[in-house]
Amino acid sequence: MTNKQLDYCYNWLLERGFFTEAELELITDMYGYSIETLDLAVYSRCGYQAVQDLINREHSTEK
């Protein structure tokens, strides 16, 4: 995953209100700024295995 894609996922989670900026900053400060960290956070909060699964679900319900 490129940094641009990682930034997109991070910002998407913020914009959709799944996490606050403070929460994501804490998580990424502790475990590193990576897609694996975001995936773990999404799994903990929403039960989805990956950020991309959550994005796909959101996009499918918008249509």
pLDDT at site 1: 85
pLDDT (tens, 9 = 90+) of the chain, 63 residues, equals: 899 999 999 999 999 999 999 999 999 999 999 999 999 999 999 999 999 999 999 888 876
Extract the tokens encoding 44: 């903990």
Residue 37 belongs to a domain: yes
Asked whether the beta carbons of 55 and 12 are under 8 A apart, the reply is: yes
Is residue 7 situated within a structural domain? Answer: yes
Residue 63: the pLDDT is: 61
CA atoms within 13 A on the CB side of 9: 24
Counted domains in the chain: 1
Sign of CA dihedral 44, 48, 59, 28: positive
For residue 27, being part of any structural domain is answered with yes
Please check whether residue 18 lies inside any domain of the structure: yes
